[in-house]
Amino acid sequence: MKIAVLPGDGIGTEIVAEAIKVLKVLDLPFEMETALVGGAAYEAHGHPLPESTLKLAQASDAVLFGAVGDWKYDTLDRPLRPEQAILGLRKNMGLFANFRPAICYPQLVDASSLKPELVAGLDILIIRELTGDIYFGQPRGRRVATDGHFPGAEEAFDTMRYSRPEIERIAHVAFQAAMKRDKRVTSVDKANVLETFQFWKDIVTEIGLQYPEVTLDHMYVDNAAMQLVRAPKRFDVVVTGNMFGDILSDAAAMLTGSIGMLPSASLNSKNQGLYEPSHGSAPDIAGKGIANPLATILSAAMMLRFSLNQAAAADRIEAAVSKVLDSGLRTTDIWSEGTTRVGTTAMGDAVVAALAK
Ligand code: IPM
Ligand code: MG
């Protein structure tokens, strides 16, 4: 079982270190190799996704990813920005299916910004298409480019596009996931305005006919954003495109109390996967030792389950996290009156200790 470890930037290195600690106590035959990615790789090699890092990722069964990005790179030409590393990994590895579960842990009901009765028991699975849409449209740029930074440009554009096979395969992923859950799929689109998403809606409807046990409904993305904060428990599986999925998954994450709790998996058709917390590199708290490592630890659990065929070990990690929450330990992002505030390392240590029990 070969794991490429790509900690990246900001809090990425701190949280990945805790996940590695947890993986190591499982005593499974992992081969782990670490490489630079994002701003860290740009500093060392002049590129956010060096060839060697991509090769390592492609040759591994799974990638454990931290986070990339820092404001200090905002003025770089786009192809050199840290974010291009994660986009390049997704595209080059064909990681089209992004699973972003939003589960409200009963211990954290009070950490949510919504009323407890709205979020208690919440268990939504957002399935975001990850290698198409406006993120990877062609062409893109600004008109009247006179140099790398386009001063004097009068217009900028990105094109939104989806192909039939791209929509079909993500629809199948969503219906199959729903079959293992509450058998409900909500497809989120903007078919009232965008041709791309009328196409999306038509094809999802077509694929849905192959899953008669699953109830399919369609929702415009603006309404979906509203329903997520009005009555989030009405959702089971939400399937949507790359851009809408990016936005809705952040909103859904916050319902659970903290984006610091949410893992994610990005899979290709060979079940090779990239596992990363749903949050970013948080440069504002980097190096302070206060980041919540649980999203990354839970991502490692998803990695064991989806790409490494170690479901029992995944269950053990998830149970350990739950035990730690029961014991009242909280990082700053999930802290509330009456609980004990701990830092990144202490939280990782607590999960390790809970695993040993
Ligand atoms: C995410 C992030 C990325 C995205 C960025 C870092 C490119 O926001 O994974 O949700 O937009 O997909
Ligand atoms: Mg995002």
The pLDDT score that the predictor gives to residue 100 is 96
Residue nearest to atom 6 of ligand 1 (CA): 83
Pick the range with the lowest mean pLDDT from 38-47, 138-147, 159-168, 315-324.
138-147
> What's the pLDDT tens digit per position in 106-156?
999 988 889 999 999 999 999 999 999 999 987 666 655 445 555 667 788
CATH class of 1-96+270-357: alpha beta
Ligand showing the shortest atom-to-Cα distance for residue 65: 1
Residue nearest to atom 4 of ligand 1 (CA): 246
Indicate the average pLDDT of the chain: 94
Determine how β-strand 2-8 pairs with β-strand 31-34.
parallel
- State whether residue 198 is helix, strand or coil: helix
The pLDDT score that the predictor gives to residue 148 is 54
Residue nearest to atom 7 of ligand 1 (CA): 83
Residue 126 contacts by C-beta under 8 Å, 6 or more apart in sequence? 99, 100, 101, 102, 238, 240, 245, 248, 249, 252
Same fold, 1-96+270-357 and 123-255: yes
Cβ of 87 below 6 Å from ligand 1: yes
Cβ of 123 below 6 Å from ligand 1: no
Residue nearest to atom 8 of ligand 1 (CA): 246
- pLDDT of residue 331 exceeding 70, the answer is yes
Q: Is 135 considered catalytic here?
A: yes
Cβ of 83 below 6 Å from ligand 1: yes
Stretch 300-314: mean pLDDT, rounded?
97
Residue of 2, 246, 323, 349 with catalytic role = 246
247 CA → ligand 2 middle, Å: 6
The pLDDT score that the predictor gives to residue 146 is 47
Cβ of 246 below 6 Å from ligand 1: yes
242 CA → ligand 2 middle, Å: 10
Q: Is 246 considered catalytic here?
A: yes
Is 123-255 CATH 3.30.56.10? no
> What's the pLDDT tens digit per position in 39-97?
999 999 999 999 999 999 999 999 999 999 999 999 998 899 999 999 999 999 999 99
> What's the pLDDT tens digit per position in 60-72?
999 999 999 999 9
315 CA → ligand 1 middle, Å: 27
CA distance 89 to 85: 6
- Asked if 6 and 64 count as a contact pair (C-beta separation under 8 A), the reply is yes
- For the chain, give every domain's residue range: 1-96+270-357, 123-255
245 CA → ligand 2 middle, Å: 8
- Residue with the bigger pLDDT between 203 and 140: it is 203
Q: Is 326 considered catalytic here?
A: no
The pLDDT score that the predictor gives to residue 150 is 58
Share of residues in the chain with pLDDT > 70 (%):
96
> What's the pLDDT tens digit per position in 249-285?
999 988 988 889 999 999 999 999 999 999 999 999 9
Residue 227 contacts by C-beta under 8 Å, 6 or more apart in sequence? 219, 234, 235
Separation in Å, CA 187 to CA 21, 159, 172: 38, 21, 12
The pLDDT score that the predictor gives to residue 141 is 63
Stretch 315-328: mean pLDDT, rounded?
97
